Amino acid sequence: MSAGAADGVLVGQPTFSSIAETIGDVVLARRAPRWWRRAFLACSLLSALFFGSIGYLFSEGVGIWGLNVPVVWAFDITNYVWWIAIAMSGTFISAALLLTRQAWGASISRFAEAMTIFALAIAGLFPIIHLGRPWFFYWLAPYPNVMSLWPQWRSPLVWDFFAILAYLLVSILFWYLGLVPDFATLRDRARGRGAQLAYGLLALGWRGEARQWQLRHNAQLLLAGLAIPLVVSVHSVVGLDFATGNTPGWHSTIFPPFFVAGAMFSGFAMAMTILVPLRRAFALEAFITDRHLERLARLILAMGLVLAYSYTMEIFMAWYGADRYDIFTTVNRMRGPYAPVYWSLIACVVVVPQALWSGAVRRSPWVLFGIGIVINVGMWLERFMLIVTSQHRDFLPSAWGMFFPTVWDWAILVGSIGFFLWLLLVFVRLAPVVSMAEMRELVASRGAPR
């Protein structure tokens, strides 16, 4: 742990009571601020669009999308990979920073974990809704059935089922374990009977006994250690969904690590995009400081370089492998009908993040906010490019085709973003966005007055 308050992880002199007031009372305030109510209304409408579109999809089938043969996966799987990538970084950020004893992790981990769970819940919907018969999605699970059939265990799609299941549950456990003492604080500070009951139940009767703190501390460390290989495995399996097919442009052993790097990159960028307005809205600048954003920007830059290396290696391997279909796919991405998508993504994902080399950029929160958005747009385009360009030029020219999105493709994409923000808005009203328990530890470790 770095010494003193001079490293900018805490600004000013927060005390135990100011922690409870700044962080906890935001949740207990009866009336939500105006910006929150407006944002909530907008996001509720978008969520209605999301679920309405899914309802229409269920009644009409996947024909309402722009899918066809040969492009059988497009927005659905693009959205899936995009959301699951955003979900990867949250638990990773908090687990890695906890294990490496980085003091600056304490104030962003709660929020990053929430981001993980919500993005993962949304990501998990896409494989279900992209099925022609979504009501049979439970066939992925092994259970005794009259057909005497089993899942195909060697299929990455089945691995995906188990990976997402494990990741969702472990992330929820990790998040909830962190929340329990904060729920106890809210229980004890709440004035209304309803809030006392609700937080009392959520706190499970937390008493703050020495043994409880010790057990929770040890469980968090162990869960963090378990979560990191899990994160890597989950997105590797997503990469294998593609790599095990013999489609040119997908069939590559680089995919699992390449996908993991892309996931970290877009997840860090999404964390940045949400942290900047969040700390402004809740006046949390004392806990989520410029220093945090600066560190996060460095991580984004590092992951962006790994990703740029992966793109280069993809091109190199197509040439080095000398497979004519691979070479064609690679050239087609740069010069074919989807070339604008390719070059836009290179601009968003490889070129723009280079601005983060500049210290002045890393210290300007709203510039970082903009870069975060650009990166996430770029990462969405990357998945779209990867998925659609490999399919639209099949092995035989007679089977070539094009994909054009319909209004329902867009409705589900935009709606899913709205629903994600809706979940975050509800979360910031119901639970502290910064862990009060960790903040107390941070303040105590600095020897600050209480």
Partner 1 sequence: MTHAPKTAAAHRWVARFDRGTDLVAAARAARAAGFAQIEAYAPLHLPGLSAAIGFGDRASAALALGGGLLGGSAMYALQWFSVARDYPIDVGGRTPAWPGLLPSTFEMTILGAALALVAGMLVRAGLPRLHHPIFDIPGFESASSDGYFLCICTRRATDAQAAREFLRAQGSVALFEAGPAWEPAKP
The string of DSSP codes covering 344-360 is HHHIIIIIGGGGGGSHH
Residue 81: φ, ψ to 5°: -65, -40
Q: CA-CA distance, 182 to 20, in Å (whole number)?
A: 9
First to last CA, the chain: 20
Closer to partner 1 at the Cβ: 63 or 205?
A: 205
Closer to partner 1 at the Cβ: 34 or 211?
A: 211
Nearest to 297 by CA among 342, 352, 339, 255: 352
Q: CA-CA distance, 105 to 229, in Å (whole number)?
A: 19
Q: CA-CA distance, 392 to 18, in Å (whole number)?
A: 58
> Nearest distance from residue 245's CB to partner 1, in Å?
15
Nearest to 121 by CA among 156, 157, 95, 86: 86
Q: Which amino acid is at 173?
A: L
Measured N-to-C along each axis, helices 34-60 and 407-430 cross at an angle, to the nearest 10 degrees, of 140
Nearest to 88 by CA among 119, 127, 126: 119
Q: CA-CA distance, 273 to 285, in Å (whole number)?
A: 15
Closer to partner 1 at the Cβ: 93 or 439?
A: 439
- Binding site residues, partner 1, CB under 8 A: 16-17, 20, 142, 148-150, 153-154, 156, 158-159, 162-163, 165-167, 169-170, 173-174, 177, 180-181, 184-185, 187-189, 200-201, 204-219, 222-223, 226, 229-230, 233-234, 237, 240, 437, 440-441, 444, 450
> Nearest distance from residue 224's CB to partner 1, in Å?
11
Closer to partner 1 at the Cβ: 188 or 394?
A: 188
> Nearest distance from residue 186's CB to partner 1, in Å?
9
> Nearest distance from residue 1's CB to partner 1, in Å?
12
Closer to partner 1 at the Cβ: 141 or 334?
A: 141
> Nearest distance from residue 364's CB to partner 1, in Å?
34
> Which tokens sit at 30?
């009866």
Closer to partner 1 at the Cβ: 6 or 149?
A: 149
> Nearest distance from residue 89's CB to partner 1, in Å?
18
> Nearest distance from residue 68's CB to partner 1, in Å?
31
Closer to partner 1 at the Cβ: 8 or 200?
A: 200
Nearest to 388 by CA among 373, 372, 398, 402: 402
The dihedral sign for the CA sequence 30, 48, 121, 366: negative
Closer to partner 1 at the Cβ: 358 or 445?
A: 445
Q: CA-CA distance, 271 to 112, in Å (whole number)?
A: 6
> Nearest distance from residue 5's CB to partner 1, in Å?
17
